[in-house]
Amino acid sequence: MSEIIQKLTVCIERGKVNKSAPYPPDLQGQDGSDELAALALQNNISPDEILEACIEGMQRVGDKFSRNEVFVPELLMASKAMYAVMKHLQPFFESGSIKTRGKFIIGTVAGDLHDIGKNLVSMVVKGNGWEVIDLGIDVKTQKFIDTIKNHPDCTAIGLSALLTTTMVNMEKTVQEIHAIFPDKKIIVGGAPVTKDAAKKMGADAYGKNPQAAVEFLNSLLSTN
């Protein structure tokens, strides 16, 4: 692994966005993910290798988050650092020279207007090399169904909820999606959701944190 890629991976993990960013304090004045991504491309490092650095960095911070060694602010900064790299890689995604791992559809279920948890999952999943189709908040069942029809190659669907009162809507959506698309995998998560509740409503997996969603998606690839 080149020195540039090593530094880029650390910047993603630590949430160092660019040289002028004051966070993290011990990396002040050093190049961030923005400058290092540009430098990597100038040095003919392949876009795929740059993407792998993002994936490695996001996996590291995701693992720390799941162990309660870092918290939401650190995860958000890592995601910002990752997005700075993605701006450099976007032309390569659009040209098809970089292939994503698959498509992931996600949304907060009908009746729920909270999106912090969903956004965290979206950012971490995207940082791990997936194309994310984010439907936003208060997503009706029909919108999930229509999106799946428009993206029949999607790997999985994620449903998020923060309010206990919207759990019934989550269960309804899970069941209706499975009735039409029995082979599609669904992962659910959010503050009121538990592993037992996920199983009871018929979901294929429960995501207690963003890294759990990534691990579930990656497990689907390994079984195909």
Centre a 10 Å sphere on the Cβ of residue 136 and count the other Cβ atoms it contains. 13
Q: Are residues 123 and 66 in the same domain?
A: no
Alpha carbon distance 9, 163 (integer Å): 36
Token digits for 217? Answer: 């998606």
| Residue 143 · residue 94 · CB < 8 Å | no
At residue 74, the pLDDT reads 93
Q: Mark whether 14 and 107 lie in a shared domain.
A: no
What was the pLDDT predicted at 181? Answer: 98
What's the whole-model pTM score?
0.81
pLDDT at 224: 57
pLDDT at 123 (0 to 100): 86
Report pLDDT for 1.
59
Same domain, 71 and 33: yes
Q: Residue 127 corresponds to which tokens in the numbers above?
A: 């940082």
The last residue of a domain, from among 74, 95, 116:
95
In angstroms, the CA 201 to CA 55 distance is 32
Domain count, the chain: 2
Asked whether residue 68 falls in the same domain as residue 22, the answer is: yes
Task: Judge contact between 124 and 211, C-beta under 8 A.
Answer: yes
**Separation of alpha carbons 199 and 203, rounded Å:** 6
What's the DSSP call for residue 30? S
Mean pLDDT, each 10-residue run in order, the chain (224 residues): 92 97 96 98 94 91 90 90 92 83 96 90 89 96 98 97 94 98 97 95 95 94 70
One domain for residues 117 and 76: no
| CATH for 63 | 1.10.1240.10
